[in-house]
Amino acid sequence: MSILTNLKTRLTGEKAALALDDIQALILRSRPEPYVGVHAMLHIDDAAGGRDLLRRMAGHVPSAAGWTDDRDAWMGLAISFQGLKALGVPQASLDTFPLPFQQGMAQRAEQLRDFGSNAPEHWDEAFAPGACHIALTIYARDDAALAVALDQAMKELDQSSGVTLVGRHAFGADADAKNPFGFRDSISQPFVAGSGVEPLPGQERAIAAGEFILGENSETGKPVAMPEPPELGRNGSFVVLRKYESQVGAFNDFVRSQAQSESDEELLAAKLVGRWRSGAPLPLAPERDDPELGADPQRNNGFDFSRDPRGLVCPHAAHMRRLNPRDSQLSILTDVNIHRIIRRSSTYGPKWHRELTAQDDTGERGIYFIFISARAYDTIEFLQQEWINRGNFIDLGTERDPVVGLHETPGTFTIPQQPVRRRVDGVTTFNRLRGGEYLFMPSLGALRWIADARWS
Ligand code: HEM
């Protein structure tokens, strides 16, 4: 059963508590499977021209009302701090945005640990500081639906003045939703309280809506700080956008060099991620892949780590367990529920194949890693510092995430085993950062508020 078909059977019949008709659809709506789409980055040279384009584009951005219905394509729109400035949003409002957002992602390289090969000086031009003002994303079910939606967007752009397209990138994946490394992706998502559907197994702990939607109560019982005025802030959210170039050949070589057979390779790859390539999680499929389990949304996330406190099945250092330790005992206490993120990542480039080596990898595969959270900038900086580029919280000292960690010198991956744990050396930076930005995803009302310059 696909994620979307499944959604309809999960409707509670109660009216959703959130202002769905004001919230952008992309916040609640998962990507279709299979999916295709386009990310476009726009730069505003003229405020009036930018606002005119925003007004017309906003007409194509669906709301989250009916987010469980089938839909062929949808667009989401988010704006950087420099973009809000270029659109003429008054300084008094700009000053109410959080500091990291005001500074932009490139200026936060220190806090994000974006050093060495991940440093902003190596980024694509579309992400040069201040270049990306508006990020537009279209997700579609197939090429035909994408062509219609893209045509609409491009017509609006052609008719605008004072706006430049600085970057455009197509993406997509087949029905199995596999990422550049051949793993099913975007399986585990937080359950947003008040969204009007029943949680899936594994999502029983609903996360307060204010963790994702500005103006709603968060996990602390109060809304997180919201940009002013409320017409601008309410029902919006923040977005982290990071473009990665995946070093798939290097990853394949690494796994191959540490394994005796193809099945050994698959087991090591599963230990690195926490799931097998099909999406089946190690806690439910400890020994071999189970593609039926991996594809079943009713089962593939229904687990915790209570029966694996030592990480003998799923290592503490596995990407999935690091980024959502669930009920694991952590050496550094943290409320895992305030670090949950709605992931909307998209895969680009050719499909994964086992034979690809570092030598013949042309670097054309990757991920636009995108997530949504009302405290997105704080969360990504915490994740980059503590859970991705350190190991102290799981008693692993300086060991880093094997999938997205920055490894300026080759690192180690620890696999707990009886009688002695195994340490696998030679982990390199398997995902190189090629750019990124902090963005604000306004409500539909706020898009009109900006477009009509309602502050004046
Ligand atoms: C760019 C390369 C990345 C790759 C190839 C990748 C791959 C994966 C895969 C295969 C999964 C398991 C399936 C799933 O639940 O969706 C996963 C889970 C996850 N990843 Fe990543 N990821 C990447 C980057 C990131 C980054 C940068 C972050 C956070 C800053 C992140 C956060 C997460 C989270 C929160 C989960 C879900 C954990 C859970 O709830 O069980 N990922 N990732």
> Across residues 257-272, what is the average pLDDT?
97
Ligand 1 centroid – CA 177 distance (Å): 13
Q: What is the pLDDT of residue 11?
A: 62
CA-wise closest residue to 138 among 126, 150, 148: 150
Q: Is the CB of 187 under 6 A from ligand 1?
A: yes
E strand spans, 188-287: 237-246
Same domain, 228 and 166: yes
Same domain, 173 and 162: yes
> Across residues 227-243, what is the average pLDDT?
98
Model confidence band, residue 346 (pLDDT cutoffs 50, 70, 90): very high
Same domain, 202 and 303: no
> Across residues 76-93, what is the average pLDDT?
98
Rounded Cα distance between 200 and 6, Å, is 10
Model confidence band, residue 5 (pLDDT cutoffs 50, 70, 90): very low
Is 10 domain-assigned? Answer: yes
Q: Does residue 377 surpass a pLDDT of 60?
A: yes
Is 30 domain-assigned? Answer: yes
> Across residues 46-74, what is the average pLDDT?
92
Is 351 domain-assigned? Answer: no
Is 348 domain-assigned? Answer: no
Same domain, 213 and 190: yes
What is the tally of structural domains in the chain? Answer: 2
Same domain, 114 and 193: yes
Is 109 domain-assigned? Answer: yes
pLDDT (tens digit, 9 = 90+) per residue, 415-428? 999 999 999 999 99
Same domain, 294 and 154: no
Model confidence band, residue 336 (pLDDT cutoffs 50, 70, 90): confident
Task: Print the domain residue range for 111.
Answer: 3-244+436-451
* Pairing label, strands 35-44, 346-348: unpaired
Same domain, 102 and 209: yes
Is 380 domain-assigned? Answer: no
Ligand 1 centroid – CA 323 distance (Å): 7
Q: Is the CB of 177 under 6 A from ligand 1?
A: no
Nearest CA owner, ligand 1 atom 8:
185
Residues of the chain by 3-state class (helix, strand, coil), percent to 5: 30, 20, 50
Ligand 1 centroid – CA 187 distance (Å): 9
pLDDT (tens digit, 9 = 90+) per residue, 109-148? 999 999 999 999 999 999 999 999 999 999 999 999 999 9
Which residues 6+ apart lie within 8 Å of 220 measured at CB?
338
Same domain, 148 and 11: yes
Q: What is the pLDDT of residue 12?
A: 66
Ligand 1 centroid – CA 371 distance (Å): 10
Ligand 1 centroid – CA 20 distance (Å): 27
Is 359 domain-assigned? Answer: no
Q: What is the pLDDT of residue 196?
A: 80
Q: What is the pLDDT of residue 204?
A: 73
Q: Is the CB of 348 under 6 A from ligand 1?
A: no
HSE value, Cβ hemisphere, 13 Å, CA-based, for 151: 6
Q: Is the CB of 67 under 6 A from ligand 1?
A: no
For ligand 1, what atom is nearest to the CA of residue 383? 30
Q: What is the pLDDT of residue 144?
A: 97
> Across residues 1-22, what is the average pLDDT?
67
Same domain, 218 and 182: yes
Q: What is the pLDDT of residue 338?
A: 81
Q: Is the CB of 340 under 6 A from ligand 1?
A: no
Ligand 1 centroid – CA 381 distance (Å): 15
Same domain, 195 and 251: no
> Across residues 319-323, what is the average pLDDT?
97
Is 367 domain-assigned? Answer: no
Q: What is the pLDDT of residue 9?
A: 63
Higher pLDDT, 19 or 66: 19
Q: Is the CB of 367 under 6 A from ligand 1?
A: yes
Q: What is the pLDDT of residue 13?
A: 59
Could you give the percent of the chain with pLDDT greater than 90?
Answer: 86
Same domain, 202 and 296: no
> Across residues 273-298, what is the average pLDDT?
97
Same domain, 56 and 126: yes
